[in-house]
Amino acid sequence: MQDVPIPVEGGEFNVWHRAAGSGESTIVLVHGLSGTSRWWVRVVDRLPPGPGLIALDLRGRGGSVSAPPPFDLATMADDIALAMSHLGVDRAVVSGYSMGAWIAALVGQRHPERVERLILLDGGLPIPFDPAADPDDVIDAVVGPSLARLDMEFETREAFLDYWRAHPALERHWEDGMIAALDYELGPAGRHFKVSANREAIRVSARQITVDPATNAAAARTGVRTHLIVVERGTADQPGGMIPVAVAEEAAAGNPLLTMEYLPGVNHYTLVLGSGVQAVASALTRR
């Protein structure tokens, strides 16, 4: 796979790309809120060699940290269609993880002719919250740890990996294979290192997936064939994934194009970094 710049007005964004073999389809991979294209590396390792792959660094993250605004989810959904056109791909399986699930669902709404099917991973549906709550409090409750990580400085790359080794979602599940997925997040900050992410871009996305009714139920409104995977545990390995099972079941009952799958023993992070990766790879290649 190779990094390829995709030009946009005012700059460019990066995709991690592998061309499809003869007669093979292409899979588009959309990462989560503060992740990067490399969060997919463990899934990619379990895919057959034939399908093409397009894993984006979304605007404001990773190799696209300097990409220009706007940072809204609809723009990033359009970026996916743009990347496909730039790389000569007419249609693809589009998969989104966490925040990427909302973006993938928007691709299905805005560019349905480009989507063979959607695979959504623990995202894309409304996250239950008290409607009387302050929106900023809701955002902080759902994605606060991800936002906090953006402000942290690490003296060495190993210190950054130690942070992840001790993370509640990964400490009992750590595998050295996770290093390649996580290390790409890090960029220089003077003599130290910080996560390569634009805080404004992260905040805009966080608001849209939590408290924006025009966006947060995107998967329920899908008009293309869609498979949603939800998990048993959350971002701190607490009971309940990002999308509650009951919310996923209700959405599937209301949309004949939407099916759901529940993975017990998997948390929001191990879905793409650990024990869930084979199930994800199987869903991506299933006809």
Written as one string, the DSSP assignment of 101-133 is HHHHHHHHHH-GGGEEEEEEES-SSPPP--TTS
**pTM attached to this predicted model:** 0.96
Tens-digit pLDDT profile for residues 214-270: 899 999 999 999 999 999 999 999 999 999 999 999 999 999 999 999 999 999 999
CA distance 57 to 29: 10
Tokens 């056109």 map to which residue? 85
Amino acid at 114: R
Q: Rounded mean pLDDT of 108-132?
A: 93
User: Dihedral of the CA atoms 14, 16, 22, 23 (nearest 10)?
Assistant: -80
C-alpha distance across the termini of the chain, in Å: 24
Q: Which domains does the chain have, with CATH numbers?
A: 2-285 (3.40.50.1820)
3-state percent breakdown (helix, strand, coil) of the chain, nearest 5: 40, 25, 35
Check residue 213 and give its pLDDT.
87
DSSP secondary structure letter of residue 152: -
pLDDT of residue 131: 78
- C-beta of residue 44 within 8 angstroms of C-beta of residue 55: yes
pLDDT at 147 (0 to 100): 81
Higher-scoring residue by pLDDT: 181, 149: 181
Q: How confident is the model at residue 129 (pLDDT cuts 50, 70, 90)?
A: confident
Residues 55-79 have a mean pLDDT of 97
With tokens 């971002």, the residue in question is 235
Q: Does 79 have pLDDT greater than 90?
A: yes
